[in-house]
Amino acid sequence: MGKLRIQNWSLGRIVREMEGRLLGPTLGGEPPKGVSTDTRKLQEGELFFALRGDRFDGHEFVDQAVAAGACAVVVDDRSAVEVESVATVVVDDCIEALGRLGRGLYRQAREQGVHSVAITGSNGKTTTKELLSTLWSIDGEVWATPGNLNNHIGVPLTLCAMPADCDHLVVEMGANHRGEILELVKLVPADERIITSIGRAHLEGFGSMAGVRKAKSEIFEYSSRSTTAVVPWTEVEALIPLEFPGNVVTFGTESGSTVRILSTQTFSKGLKTGMQVTLEIEGRRRNLELPLMGRHNATNLAAAMAALGSRVLEYDEPTLNDALAKLELPGGRQRWVSVGSLEVMDDAYNANPSSMRASFRAFEQWCEEDQSRPAVAVIGDMHELGEEAKKAHQRLARWLAGRNILDGVAFFGEYAEAMAEAVEGSRIRDVARPSGIDDVVEWLLKFDAARVFIKGSRGNRLERIVDGLEDQS
């Protein structure tokens, strides 16, 4: 893709969009080359936002931003920052100003015909986003949320990094409290709005499953008759507001689904794994080769296909499969790695009870291809589960033990002891409670030629395990 959309905006226009005041030297008509909130990554010519948070204050790094080549700095009116060498934009609140700028860029893109999709859900958001990006690329240039920039800062940054020549915009929206999705959909009132799944995630913030549904349904606010809602068939009544004015399409295994999963067939040759997924769409079948394992990923594919709308039947199977073959997920999401004699399914990026089970089922499918290898797992804490956290971890541990596949399991984190107690008396021969990543690596190296499953919430940083194994190989 070419230059960014923001590179066509003058500093004056940016200041007006943010409702700010411009002080000091101007840019001489040269637009910013982009936006940054981190001086460690800032590129020369970018606009620096001095964001405030609970544990950081970007105003302390304004001088570093200028030294790194920032073309201008955005500060709030509570600060006493004075910059002589570059322009200073003063706003009421830097985070709100960033959001206003992102919304302005989105509004211009929509006026110029850019098509947009917004995605939320308890599980599968990022995978569905990547599937959509891959499939929409058949029909033009796509810009999608980089990595996991899906919150009140990440979504505006995604919009500010939008290329001027993109045809499709795919935005992931995450939340752990009520009202957060509502604020994000104000920024991106997209053409299609997808809820991938409803699960027991972030219960500490949402309070209950009903709270999860209510929060995710916020994505359907600010809709029009041209808006399309894409939801699981089983959740239609719970998720779609009575006053929703647009079109509703569904996905799932049920006969009433707009996009129905008819069958899945696993293929696996060493680290080359995937499924053939047969979908039924308006009475016609599509046999697709998905380079991912697990029934949950077939569901993610069905959600993405549902969001394609009428185009889904315009593309033939070879075209769709050529696109899917290019699918690449961000690090820590169902990554298959060979390290020494070990073969690892690294799904360490994040976890909740629903995603743990879905991901482990994919691991089981992989292990069925070669049952001569030992199967072991490293299970980290699942965060933000509120008052039921300990019980949720124990239920998961008992479920894992009941699958009758594991030769060893290492529980890692605050609830390691509780999980270990829950599997006492099971067929799992080796149950470990390592206190650090180095201990995990040492434990795994005992299992020659094993297949390894790694998953836990982001705070565990379990991705370090693969790094440690590679250092030892």
How do residues 58-95 score in pLDDT, each as one tens digit? 999 999 999 999 999 999 988 877 788 889 999 999 99
Q: Does domain 5-92 have CATH number 3.30.70.120?
A: no
Higher-pLDDT residue of 176, 473: 176
Beta strands at 72-76 and 142-144: parallel, antiparallel or unpaired: unpaired
- Residue 401's nearest CA partner among 424, 381, 426 is 426
CA atoms within 13 A on the CB side of 119: 29
Check residue 201 and give its pLDDT: 60
Q: Superfamily for 114-324?
A: Mur-like, catalytic domain (3.40.1190.10)
CA atoms within 13 A on the CB side of 226: 6
Decide if pLDDT at 270 tops 70: no
Give the integer Cα–Cα distance in Å for 141 and 255: 34
Give tens-digit pLDDT for 414-430.
999 999 999 998 999 99
Check residue 29 and give its pLDDT: 56
For the chain, where do the domains classified as CATH 3.40.1190.10 start and end? 114-324
26 — pLDDT class (breaks 50, 70, 90): low
CB 98 within 8 A of CB 91: no
- Residue 132's nearest CA partner among 191, 215, 216 is 191
CB atoms within 10 A of CB 234: 16
Give the integer Cα–Cα distance in Å for 443 and 408: 10
Q: Which CATH architecture has domain 335-472?
A: Alpha-Beta Complex (3.90)
Both tokens of residue 66?
Answer: 């200028």
Decide if pLDDT at 45 tops 90: yes
**Region 429-442 average pLDDT:** 93
CA distances, 413 to each of 34, 261, 424 (Å) = 39, 37, 18
Strand order in the sheet with 451-455: 335-339, 342-346, 451-455, 375-380, 408-412, 430-432
Higher-pLDDT residue of 28, 382: 382
CA distances, 239 to each of 248, 391, 397 (Å) = 11, 27, 31
Residue 379 β-bridge partners: 411, 455
User: Residue 435, SS3?
Assistant: coil
Long-range contacts (CB closer than 8 Å, 24 or more residues apart) made by 465-471: 465/346, 465/348, 465/378, 465/437, 465/440, 465/441, 466/337, 466/339, 466/344, 466/346, 466/348, 468/437, 468/438, 468/440, 468/441, 469/339, 469/340, 469/342, 469/344, 469/441, 469/444, 469/445, 470/339
CB 25 within 8 A of CB 13: no
Of 198-207, 333-342, 384-393, 401-410, the least confident:
198-207
Check residue 160 and give its pLDDT: 97
CB 214 within 8 A of CB 122: no
Give the integer Cα–Cα distance in Å for 112 and 107: 9
Higher-pLDDT residue of 460, 438: 438
**Region 361-374 average pLDDT:** 85
The mean pLDDT of the chain is: 90
Check residue 381 and give its pLDDT: 92
Give the integer Cα–Cα distance in Å for 307 and 326: 19
Helix 180-187 × helix 209-216 angle, to 10°? 10
Both tokens of residue 137?
Answer: 């690329």
For the chain, where do the domains classified as CATH 3.40.1390.10 start and end? 5-92
- Residue 194's nearest CA partner among 211, 169, 172 is 172
Give the integer Cα–Cα distance in Å for 87 and 459: 38
**Region 326-346 average pLDDT:** 82
206 — pLDDT class (breaks 50, 70, 90): low
Scored b (16 or more CB within 10 A) or e, 411-447 reads bbbebbebbbebbeebebeebbebeebeebbebbbeb
**Region 267-275 average pLDDT:** 73
